[in-house]
Amino acid sequence: MDQENQVQIRALAQKYSREELMIVLGSADPEMAAIAAETAAGRNLTYIGPSAEVRFGLKAYHVLELKEFIAPEVYSRHLEMMEMILDIPGIVSEVSSVREQVFAEE
C-alpha cells in the first residue's frame, strides 16, 4: 500500500471509528492484496510510511468479494473483466486469511 493511501486511511481512521470504515482493495496480485490487508489491519510488515506507528484496525476486502453489493451494471462495466483474468480464489483466500488471523477474537 503506497504512502499516499496510508495518509488518507490514517486521516479517516482518526476521524471515524473502525466500525464505520473498511478498506476495499483492488490489487491484482494475491500477495500484494495480503500485504495491503495486513497494513489496513495494523500489521505494517514494511515498518515504513504513515502506518508504521499506527494500528488502523480496519478490515479489508477485495472489491471482487463485494460483488453482491455492487449494482450489476456497475460491476459489468468496471469489474467483470477482472473476474476473467485474476486469481480470484487466491486473492480472496489471502485477504480473508488476514481478516481471520487478525480479527479472530471479534
Q: Report pLDDT digits (tens) over 58-81.
A: 999 999 999 999 999 999 999 999
45's enclosing H/E stretch is none
Residue recorded with cell 500489521: 43
Contacts of 97 (CB under 8 A, 6+ apart): 34
**Predicted pLDDT of residue 42:** 80
| pLDDT (average), residues 84-97 | 96
The pLDDT of residue 49 is above 80? no
- d(CA 17, CA 14) in angstroms, rounded, equals 8
User: The C-alpha cell of 40 is what?
Assistant: 489496513
Per the CB < 8 A criterion, the answer to whether 59 and 103 are in contact is yes
pLDDT digits (tens, 9 = 90+) for 30-39: 999 999 999 8
Single-letter residue type at 56: F
Mean pLDDT over the full length of the chain: 89
95 class by beta-carbon count within 10 Å (0-12 exposed, 13-18 middle, 19+ buried): buried
Higher pLDDT, 74 or 44: 74
The pLDDT of residue 46 is above 70? no
CA 19 and chain centroid, separation: 15
